[in-house]
Amino acid sequence: MPRRRKQTTVDAQGRGRADDIDPADQWVLNPNTGEYELRLPPSAPQSGVPSPRRPPASDGVPSGRGRRDAGGRRDAGSRTDAPGRAAPPRRRRGAPEEPLPGRRGRRPAKKAAKGKKVLLWTGGTMAFVLVAGAGAAYFYIEHLNGNIASVSDDGASTGGFQKDKAINILLIGTDKRTGKGNESYGDAGSVGHADTTILLHVSKDRSNATALSIPRDLIVDVPDCPTTQEDGSQKVIPGTQKARFNTSLGQDGRTPSCTMRTVTELTGVKPDNFMVADFNAVKTLTSAVGGVEVCLGKDIDDPDSHLKLSKGTHTIEGEQALAFVRTRHAVGFGGDLSRIGLQQQFLSALMRKLKSNDTLTSPSKMLDLAEAGTKALTVDSQLDSIGKLKDLGLELGKLNTKNLTFTTTPVIDNPTEKVKSTVVLNESTAPQVFDMIKNDVSFTAVKEQKKKEAAAVAARLKGSKSPASEVRVRILNGGAEPGSAQETLSWLQVEEGVTKSENAGNAPAELAKTTLEYAPDQADQARRLADIMGLSGSAMKPGKSVQNAQGLPAMTLTLGKDFKGAGASLTAPSKAPEGVQKSTADKVECAE
């Protein structure tokens, strides 16, 4: 798909650039709100627009208003301009603003405390790599909007992130040779495959996040993909069974929405938005912040990626930064999985640099980040403006780097290959990792308050349990597969002895997660049914009972979209499975 850029017409006195007036000079940071405000220099009165605060004319008629004739019509020839005051010239770039005659100059704003300064800058800062500068450059809106390229999500997303829900953003780096100086990188004729893919999950309470890398050589099923073509027409691209993950983009004309559908098929997590970056994103973003610090546990000299660095720490940017994230033969086992670890180390370093005071308090760096970030990105149609990116940035900016975990989809070598070049899912651990993301479970220890809340939820499962024969429950289908309520009813009655149960049909609305609502005096019954169903404490909702078909009080079990079938446990994992490698963004690790 071509990069569709917005065409913007900017008013000379507004947010654009007129002649040699610097637009930044027209925006002032309000220390009380943390937002930039447009303050235009006074200009000469325009024709037909009355000027404020004019002194009375000598004949008693207010200046700027013509005399009226007997019929009440205005005499155009009697218009009078304000005497004694000439319109001040526009302030030129670099020139100090002079106060108008007879008017005191603007009082200098009180100097904010250091902590408050940082907070003000942080409020508009993108907290993750590819969207780093967009929010902070709020005063350059129209120009930056013109930088952003967007393509349709073709219905593959949730419709966009929401502030009161968990956020899932799909970040895609392509291997297409676009941009100056990138001829030596990537595959020579590549249409732009999904070379680097990260599913970024941010918890509902913004206390933690997980960045899940998906190997490009992972064997997956790419589903059928409805796409919007360059001419605006619609086309369904047939899916492919047992294909490399990276072919979900570019191959056969697939768009980023196809990668989105593939991720949903693979993980069960439906992304809210996607962002696609090319080689220039790494080069320009690292240069914008003055380079990022990385660490090597050994000397590296990789002729393929053109990376040559000695053991120890180095500050890299531009071409060297791109070579760093592209190298794979010189680290680990020399494959794509080793390169993923290197990329995660790089992203952690860039994350720390973006959130450092050195970046957040530098207007020039924030401007450079805004330009670099918006030019390097292609986003979905739900994120096609600076305003939307800014809102996303404010949500991401709440994260603490110590609770941002980088991990990789658990995989094993493809057992069908003699020469190992692809990988397949590790079925013993991958489902648990996916379930943690779907159920908003942190990979790291978070605040004490969150632990207390989790303990309170878990306590619902503790206590006495009624016999199965005394459990009285109505079963509704609230988003599960058709027939699930009847299947569950039969299983509970025949297999588990919950004979006082009934199928109550469809729920009034669909639910993402299965819930069990019960009255306080039904807690023993609820604990027994939760034990039978494999429900977590969070699925148990203390409330009130309802009457069943016999007019007796009963609990309500609503099967949500997460329902996996009768007898399948719905208890979310509480921690990552053993053997899953993970690192947090606050720690410096040296690549071997």
pLDDT single digits (tens) 391-430: 898 888 888 888 889 999 999 999 999 888 899 999 999 9
Asked if 406 and 582 touch (Cβ cutoff 8 Å), the reply is yes
What is the pLDDT at residue 225?
A: 96
Residue 455 CB contacts under 8 Å (≥ 6 apart), including other chains? none
CA 479 to chain centre: 26
What is the pLDDT at residue 56?
A: 42
Asked if 457 and 538 touch (Cβ cutoff 8 Å), the reply is yes
* Six-digit token string for 50: 């009355």
SS3 326: helix
What is the pLDDT at residue 29?
A: 55
Tell me, letter by letter, the H, E, C secondary structure of 455-512: HHHHHHHCCCCCCHHHCEEEEEECCCCCCHHHHHHHHHHHCCCCCEEEEEEECCCCCC
Asked if 154 and 225 touch (Cβ cutoff 8 Å), the reply is yes
Burial code of 401-428, b = ≥16 C-beta within 10 A, e = fewer? bebbbbbbbbbeebeeeeeeebbbbbee
Q: How many helices (H) and strands (E) does the chain have?
A: 13, 28
Considering the entire predicted model, what is its pTM?
0.63
pLDDT single digits (tens) 347-372: 888 888 888 877 777 878 877 887 88
* pLDDT higher than 60, residue 505: yes
Nearest residue to 40 (alpha-carbon basis) of 11, 64, 19, 82: 11
What is the pLDDT at residue 124?
A: 35
Vertex 434: Cα angle to 129 and 258 (nearest 5): 65
How far, in Å, CA of 445 to CA of 442, rounded?
7
Count CA atoms closer than 13 A to 56's CA, side-chain side.
4
Q: How much is the average pLDDT of 288-315?
A: 88
What the chain holds in terms of domains, given with CATH numbers, is: 121-446 (3.40.630.190), 460-559 (3.30.70)
Confidence of residue 376 (pLDDT cuts 50, 70, 90): confident
Confidence of residue 41 (pLDDT cuts 50, 70, 90): low
How far, in Å, CA of 201 to CA of 482, rounded?
29
What is the pLDDT at residue 574?
A: 62
* Six-digit token string for 418: 């003699």
What is the pLDDT at residue 492?
A: 95
Q: How much is the average pLDDT of 582-592?
A: 76
pLDDT single digits (tens) 218-228: 999 999 999 98
Of all residues in the chain, the percent with pLDDT exceeding 70 is 69
Nearest residue to 350 (alpha-carbon basis) of 305, 395, 315, 396: 315
How far, in Å, CA of 487 to CA of 207, rounded?
38
What is the pLDDT at residue 305?
A: 80
What is the pLDDT at residue 491?
A: 95
The letter for the amino acid at 336 is D
